[in-house]
Amino acid sequence: MLKNVSKKKIIIPKHKLCEGADQAIGLMFSLKKNFNYALIFDRKEETKIGAAIHMFFVFYPINILFLNSKKEVVDIKENLKPFFMYTPKKKARYIIELPTSVDLKGVKLRDIVSWC
Protein backbone atom coordinates (compact mmCIF):
# COMPACT_ATOMS: atom_id res chain seq x y z
CA MET A 1 0.00 0.00 0.00
CA LEU A 2 1.26 3.51 -0.85
CA LYS A 3 0.05 6.11 1.62
CA ASN A 4 0.26 9.88 1.97
CA VAL A 5 1.10 9.99 5.69
CA SER A 6 0.73 13.79 5.84
CA LYS A 7 -2.86 13.63 4.60
CA LYS A 8 -3.66 10.19 6.09
CA LYS A 9 -4.89 8.94 2.71
CA ILE A 10 -4.11 5.92 0.59
CA ILE A 11 -2.64 6.89 -2.78
CA ILE A 12 -2.90 3.39 -4.28
CA PRO A 13 -3.55 0.02 -2.58
CA LYS A 14 -0.78 -2.00 -4.27
CA HIS A 15 2.93 -1.41 -4.74
CA LYS A 16 5.98 -3.24 -6.03
CA LEU A 17 9.60 -2.56 -5.13
CA CYS A 18 11.76 -2.54 -8.23
CA GLU A 19 15.11 -4.10 -7.37
CA GLY A 20 18.17 -5.47 -9.12
CA ALA A 21 18.02 -5.87 -12.88
CA ASP A 22 14.33 -4.87 -12.82
CA GLN A 23 15.44 -1.27 -12.14
CA ALA A 24 16.89 -1.07 -15.64
CA ILE A 25 13.70 -2.40 -17.20
CA GLY A 26 10.96 -0.81 -15.08
CA LEU A 27 7.79 -0.50 -17.16
CA MET A 28 9.44 -0.94 -20.56
CA PHE A 29 7.41 -3.16 -22.89
CA SER A 30 4.67 -3.59 -20.25
CA LEU A 31 0.95 -3.29 -20.94
CA LYS A 32 -1.06 -0.38 -19.57
CA LYS A 33 -3.90 -2.70 -18.54
CA ASN A 34 -1.52 -4.57 -16.19
CA PHE A 35 -0.16 -1.42 -14.52
CA ASN A 36 -2.42 -0.98 -11.49
CA TYR A 37 0.16 -0.47 -8.73
CA ALA A 38 2.92 1.88 -7.59
CA LEU A 39 6.37 0.91 -8.89
CA ILE A 40 9.01 2.08 -6.40
CA PHE A 41 12.69 2.58 -7.24
CA ASP A 42 15.32 3.22 -4.53
CA ARG A 43 18.43 4.98 -5.83
CA LYS A 44 20.15 4.47 -2.40
CA GLU A 45 21.20 8.14 -2.29
CA GLU A 46 19.73 11.49 -3.22
CA THR A 47 20.65 12.46 -6.75
CA LYS A 48 19.25 14.54 -9.55
CA ILE A 49 20.85 12.89 -12.58
CA GLY A 50 20.54 9.38 -11.10
CA ALA A 51 16.83 9.98 -10.48
CA ALA A 52 16.17 11.09 -14.06
CA ILE A 53 13.87 8.74 -15.94
CA HIS A 54 13.12 7.98 -19.55
CA MET A 55 9.96 6.68 -21.12
CA PHE A 56 11.63 4.79 -23.97
CA PHE A 57 9.59 1.69 -24.76
CA VAL A 58 6.87 2.62 -22.26
CA PHE A 59 3.88 3.02 -24.54
CA TYR A 60 1.50 4.84 -22.21
CA PRO A 61 1.74 7.96 -19.96
CA ILE A 62 2.41 7.68 -16.21
CA ASN A 63 2.48 9.88 -13.10
CA ILE A 64 5.66 10.11 -11.00
CA LEU A 65 6.48 11.13 -7.43
CA PHE A 66 10.06 11.90 -6.48
CA LEU A 67 10.95 11.60 -2.77
CA ASN A 68 14.04 12.50 -0.78
CA SER A 69 15.66 10.22 1.84
CA LYS A 70 13.04 11.29 4.41
CA LYS A 71 10.33 10.15 1.96
CA GLU A 72 9.19 13.75 1.48
CA VAL A 73 7.79 14.62 -1.94
CA VAL A 74 10.32 16.86 -3.71
CA ASP A 75 8.80 16.80 -7.21
CA ILE A 76 5.64 15.61 -8.95
CA LYS A 77 5.35 14.91 -12.66
CA GLU A 78 1.92 14.06 -13.99
CA ASN A 79 1.11 12.52 -17.34
CA LEU A 80 4.67 11.93 -18.58
CA LYS A 81 4.28 10.82 -22.17
CA PRO A 82 5.94 7.86 -23.92
CA PHE A 83 9.45 8.42 -25.28
CA PHE A 84 10.07 11.54 -23.16
CA MET A 85 12.70 12.06 -20.47
CA TYR A 86 12.38 13.88 -17.15
CA THR A 87 14.86 15.02 -14.50
CA PRO A 88 13.45 15.97 -11.10
CA LYS A 89 13.75 19.61 -10.01
CA LYS A 90 15.45 18.53 -6.75
CA LYS A 91 17.58 15.59 -5.69
CA ALA A 92 15.56 12.45 -5.04
CA ARG A 93 16.26 9.02 -3.60
CA TYR A 94 12.93 7.32 -4.37
CA ILE A 95 11.06 7.37 -7.66
CA ILE A 96 7.46 6.19 -7.61
CA GLU A 97 5.78 5.49 -10.93
CA LEU A 98 1.98 5.44 -10.89
CA PRO A 99 -0.84 4.92 -13.37
CA THR A 100 -2.36 8.16 -14.66
CA SER A 101 -5.68 7.00 -13.17
CA VAL A 102 -4.23 7.77 -9.71
CA ASP A 103 -5.34 11.25 -8.65
CA LEU A 104 -2.35 13.20 -7.32
CA LYS A 105 -4.23 16.44 -6.62
CA GLY A 106 -4.10 15.69 -2.88
CA VAL A 107 -0.33 15.08 -2.93
CA LYS A 108 1.75 18.21 -2.36
CA LEU A 109 5.45 19.00 -2.10
CA ARG A 110 6.85 18.11 1.36
CA ASP A 111 4.10 15.51 2.02
CA ILE A 112 5.47 12.31 3.57
CA VAL A 113 4.77 9.10 1.65
CA SER A 114 5.16 5.55 3.00
CA TRP A 115 4.66 1.99 1.83
CA CYS A 116 4.29 -1.28 3.69
Spell out the domain ranges in the chain. 2-115
pTM of the prediction? 0.95
Angstrom distance (rounded) from CA 15 to CA 60: 19
Tell me, which fold does domain 2-115 have in CATH? Jelly Rolls (2.60.120)
Using one digit for the tens of pLDDT, what is the confidence trace for 24-56?
889 999 999 999 999 999 999 999 999 999 999
Residue 88 has pLDDT above 80, yes or no: yes
Identify the three-state secondary structure at position 55: coil
Q: What share of the chain is helix, strand, coil (3-state, %, to 5)?
A: 5, 45, 50
Angstrom distance (rounded) from CA 3 to CA 82: 26
Q: If you average pLDDT over every residue of the chain, what do you get? A: 96
Mean pLDDT along residues 90-102: 98
